[in-house]
Amino acid sequence: MLLTQQHLEMIKVNFAGSEREAVEAELARLTTTDTWDSEYNFNNAIGAILALSKGDMPELVKLVDAARVDFRDVIYWWSLAQKQFGE
């Protein structure tokens, strides 16, 4: 699955240039199979992972691991963060 332009922009803004290739490789561990074969769910999970990781590579790895177990968790955590911080 290809990352959207929005996802690539989030990576560019939040991660150092030297980390971008590793970030994309890490995100590639998540597939649409993990998101019930839904591109929509996949894109939401990737967006949530990028938003929640806030440029922190170890956090991104943890979030990808969590999403591979149940992608809905990272989307839920992201929605809670948005409500809490009014984003």
55 — alpha (psi -120 to 50), left (phi > 0) or beta?
Answer: left
Task: Give the global pTM.
Answer: 0.94
pLDDT, one tens digit for every residue, the chain (87 residues): 689 999 999 999 999 999 999 999 999 999 999 999 999 999 999 999 999 999 999 999 999 999 999 999 999 999 999 988 775
Opening angle at CA 42, ends 3 and 61, nearest 5: 75
pLDDT at 85: 75
**pLDDT the model gives residue 1:** 67
Report domain extents, the chain: 5-85
